[in-house]
Structure 1
Amino acid sequence: MRMPRWATEGGLRSWLSAVLLPQGVAPGALNLLVARGLRGMCDGFIAVLLPGYLLALGLGQLAVGLISTTTLFGSALATILVGIAVNRFAQRSLLLFAAALMTATGLAFAGLSSLWPLLVVAFIETLNPSSGDVSLFLPLEHARLAESATGAARTALFARYSLVGGLSAAVGALAAGLPDLIAARSVASPLAAIRVMFIVYAVAGFVNWLVYRRLPARPSSKDTPRMPLGPSRGIVLRLALLFSVDAFAGGLLVNSLLTLWLIRRFGLSLGAAGQFFFWAGILSAGSQLAAAPLSRRIGLLNTMVFTHIPSSVCLIAAAFSPSLSLALALLLARSALSQMDVPTRSAYVMSVVTPGERPAAASFTAVPRSLAAAVAPTLSGVLLGVGWLAAPLVACGALKIAYDLSLLYAFRQVRADGGSS
């Protein structure tokens, strides 16, 4: 029996390209979107399951913050090394290495039980305890995406990239309820069921390795050689400084810690937390898709700022919510707005630097974000451990508002290559 064209590999690829890629985008970008989707799904369930996993191992609440901090510090170091190595190695080779590291990470976490070995693995691996992508994949994929489109098409491509990441993370968060389902049917203990999810993470890393292998050869770089920061150095350094403030604020409430807050404050189960993060991810993904047309109307910078501030207000209000239903409603409202700056921020960075500086710019704006975000989770873990449950949410919201206002003031006169800032 002959398979229909859409079910063949070529037909499926054509269909995915038509659905996911905006007009005027190189078809090779599809591989990056597929890889982002697989990684986002894993990030979604790992962020929810990590606190429960560490508690099931007999580790305390502080361990959740320590693991999250160590993971983010490791991501920062890896991103620094990527910024150095991007001029010496092919981007595809670095992506293949990152995918192999992802596989090793899943296998290691599935087999280890003590805090210190887990901390070592957390430092050198690819786990992502936050709602966004802070891994070494980020600067490599961003630089490659920026080469695939120009102007408004680039912003639309970054929006699709963020959309795929958000939707897949939402599905992954929903999958975080699988260990409870498995344990309820007495198929395995809760701890063993969570370990299986780390094996799934490892398998996804291998599949990503296969996807990266199929990336087309990078176009010749004779006209736009890769180089360290040159004429755009001042802009990139200022952006990196401000982005680090935003990242530190976000690090105070990575998804793992927000899960812990919901458990401590309202006694929410891991399965229910997974359902919440599913809907939060759906809202975030939809808002990122809306970011591209909105940015065409009001500019990239205004989209970043004026959607971010209301989301921070919702977060602060959630900290003082007297009921679970109101808290979840405010957090969902926050999710509908808080990620609209993600694709616009990426497109903005790529559009205010020269083409040859893009890999370095992606790396140097990501490194301070990772470092700043790495410090925060342990602080939040301490605050939650001593009973100051509202403090991480309030601090996160207040710092993000300060960041938005500072960004608007500092860059209101800087224009992106696709139009107004």
Structure 2
Amino acid sequence: MRDLTLLFVSRGVRLFAYGFLSVVLVLYLKELGLSDGRVGLLLTLTLLGDTALTIWLTTLADRCGRRRMLLVGAGLMVLAGLVFAATRNPLWLLAAATIGVISPSGSEVGPFLAIEQAALTQLLKPERRTLLFAWYNLLGSFTTACGALVAGEACAAMQAGGAAGAAIYRPVVQSYGLLGLVLGACVLGLSAAVELPAHEKPHASTGRSGLGQSRKLVAKLSVLFAMDAFGGGFVVQAVLAYWFTIRFGVEPATLGKLFFAANLLAGVSSLLAVWLARRIGLINTMVFTHLPSNVLLMLVPLMPTFPLAAGLLFIRYSLSQMDVPTRQSYLMAVVSPAERSAAAGWTMMARSLGAACSPALAMQLIALPHGIAWPLYLSGVIKIAYDLLLYREFVHVKPPEERNA
């Protein structure tokens, strides 16, 4: 129980930090004098660096120790936050974005999720897996929402106190690095029970990839997840915050409240996903909730006022994340126990690679005279295509609990 609690606390601290930073990240970089193109490049390098870090640490986790790899990730989160707060030099910022752990989207990056999923699955009975992942994601959504809200209020307080330019946002960036220290303390408290048992250590045939019998299935899922993430990269939270700012002139405090409510809706919907998955299956739940959410996303730019656009975004968020706990549970169920960390790592890497290019493209499109709506349109179309392909390829590949039902 202690390890479960610490894994949940770790998740909460981390996602609070991600939500905290993502609301102000693009605004902070713009105040430092970076152009739209350079901001887009930095966001892309952030995601590429997170991708390399994820695959490196997750493929080592079941050999060298899960706790050790989580601690390395926490250290790189601290490093990135401190460098971003200390300099306005574009080269240093690009370097920190590449080797550190920063989330432009407010969602998971780095090795943490993959390793924690493997540890949680090991600590639980199969029939409790999806429910626990739902609560795990609800906690993440709630703390991301709280982070966004606190960041918005902190920036409003700085403005009221007379701060201007980058000084409005710098305390948020500094606090991000400090939260990395708290995360490291949580990792240090974990016991050996979260490590892979010695009799289940990866076989030599898995090689450096950490994958053996699950290799083909993971490769196919990785391609599809990369496609989904590429579409999602056009609407990461940092880009959406910037989009609302230039489209409707929304202030940081309002943005914080907007994403607080949106992430809270997304988290609560995770619990509904558990109920739905028990009745129609994991794959069906992933597809039949994701499809309508992407149609709603494409309608947001058509709204003439901020309240209407925000309302549609709330409805979209109430559906769009129902596939997250089901996707995580499905992956952990269909791969062998000794390959769970590596499988989660490779699929996360695919998602990170898929999402790496689209923020830069989104920023370039927004900068065009008539391009402001295109990131949302492209995201919706690509993600709908992903839903249809996922259903076609995996509707008949059942996890053990569904085969035995």
User: Contact 1:65/1:257 (CA < 8 Å) preserved in 2?
Assistant: no
Alignment of 1:152-301 (within 5 A): 152-186=127-161, 188-218=163-193, 221-227=197-203, 228-301=210-283
Aligned residue pairs, count: 396
What residue in structure 2 maps to residue 417 of structure 1? 400
What residue in structure 1 maps to residue 306 of structure 2? 324
Distance 1:70 1:308 in 2: 28
Distance 1:94 1:342 in 2: 23
User: Contact 2:156/2:252 (CA < 8 Å) preserved in 1?
Assistant: no
Distance 2:58 2:71 in 1: 16
AA aligned to 2:157 is: I
Deviation (angstroms), 1:87: 4.2
AA aligned to 1:225 is: K
SS at match of 1:359: helix
Alignment of 1:120-131 (within 5 A): 120-131=95-106
User: Contact 2:63/2:201 (CA < 8 Å) preserved in 1?
Assistant: no
Give the one of 28, 43, 52 matched to 2:3. 28
Distance 1:395 1:58 in 2: 28
Query: Residue 68 in 1 paired to residue 43 in 2?
Result: yes
Distance 1:69 1:199 in 2: 22
What 5-or-longer segments of structure 2 have no aligned partner? Answer: 204-209
User: Contact 2:77/2:180 (CA < 8 Å) preserved in 1?
Assistant: yes
Give the one of 115, 119, 126 matched to 1:144. 119
Q: What TM-score does the superposition give when structure 1 sets the normalisation length?
A: 0.91
Query: Residue 88 in 1 paired to residue 71 in 2?
Result: no
Distance 1:144 1:155 in 2: 14
Deviation (angstroms), 1:76: 0.6
What residue in structure 2 maps to residue 3 of structure 1? none
Distance 2:154 2:318 in 1: 28
User: Contact 1:174/1:274 (CA < 8 Å) preserved in 2?
Assistant: yes
What residue in structure 1 maps to residue 383 of structure 2? 400
Distance 2:191 2:401 in 1: 26
**Root-mean-square deviation (Å):** 1.6
SS at match of 1:127: coil
AA aligned to 1:313 is: V
Query: Residue 48 in 1 paired to residue 23 in 2?
Result: yes
Q: What TM-score does the superposition give when structure 2 sets the normalisation length?
A: 0.94
What residue in structure 1 maps to residue 207 of structure 2? none
Q: Deviations over 1:213-265 (max 9, x none)?
A: 11111356233223521222111111011000001001111111111111121
Which one is further off, 187-196 or 171-180? 187-196
Distance 1:113 1:178 in 2: 24
What residue in structure 2 maps to residue 312 of structure 1? 294
What residue in structure 1 maps to residue 206 of structure 2? none
SS at match of 1:86: helix
Q: Is the helix fraction higher in 1 or 2?
A: 2
Cα–Cα, structure 1 residues 377 and 188, in superposed 2: closer, same or farther, change >3 Å? same
What residue in structure 1 maps to residue 285 of structure 2? 303
SS at match of 2:63: coil
What 5-or-longer segments of structure 1 have no aligned partner? Answer: 1-25
Query: Residue 134 in 1 paired to residue 109 in 2?
Result: yes
Distance 1:150 1:417 in 2: 12
Cα–Cα, structure 1 residues 386 and 81, in superposed 2: closer, same or farther, change >3 Å? same
Alignment of 1:336-347 (within 5 A): 336-347=318-329
Query: Residue 365 in 1 paired to residue 341 in 2?
Result: no
Distance 1:120 1:131 in 2: 20
Identity of aligned pairs, percent? 40
Give the one of 327, 338, 360 matched to 1:356. 338
Distance 2:51 2:352 in 1: 5
User: Contact 1:174/1:277 (CA < 8 Å) preserved in 2?
Assistant: yes
Cα–Cα, structure 1 residues 259 and 57, in superposed 2: closer, same or farther, change >3 Å? same
Cα–Cα, structure 1 residues 77 and 183, in superposed 2: closer, same or farther, change >3 Å? same
Deviation (angstroms), 1:27: 4.2
